[in-house]
Amino acid sequence: AAAKFAVSGSSHPSWRGGRFKTGGYWYYWLPALSGRARELADAMPRRGWKGHYVIGEHRLVMALHLDHPLTRHDIVHHRNGDKLDNRIENLELTTQGEHRKLDVKYYKLWQEALAKIAELESELVRFKSDN
């Protein structure tokens, strides 16, 4: 059986300031936030996770940048596709419809890049066998 700790929050040995990763995204536990970050998080849609309210770091970063809470219709897109990269320069506020177009666009570019890599690898093999 897994060990249980009698402590929680900042006293827990795995405490990381209320920030944790799940489902490919960084999240914050709401009670760990303070100041403007907490004000914005409290005004935004949030989700329950294991009995606690949490907010996606990417959504909080965008709300802090814009200095207003996001609505449930606001979608934060990760430009480079890395959902853990929450630098503001990697984030773009969009709508659900626009986000689908962005996902399709970047998926197509990714597929084209994979095809080019395969082509170059094949060319490299031919080059090595000729020399």
Roughly how many angstroms between the first and final C-alpha of the chain, as a whole number?
A: 60
Query: Which tens digits make up the pLDDT trace of 69-104?
Result: 999 999 999 988 889 999 999 999 998 778 777 766
**How far, in whole angstroms, is CA 46 from its chain's centroid?**
15
CA atoms 19, 21, 84, 48: torsion sign: negative
Please tell me whether the overall predicted TM-score, pTM, comes out greater than 0.85 for this model: no
pLDDT of residue 16: 66
What are the residue ranges of helices labelled H in 1-95?
35-43, 57-66
Cα 128–129–131 angle (5° rounding)?
65
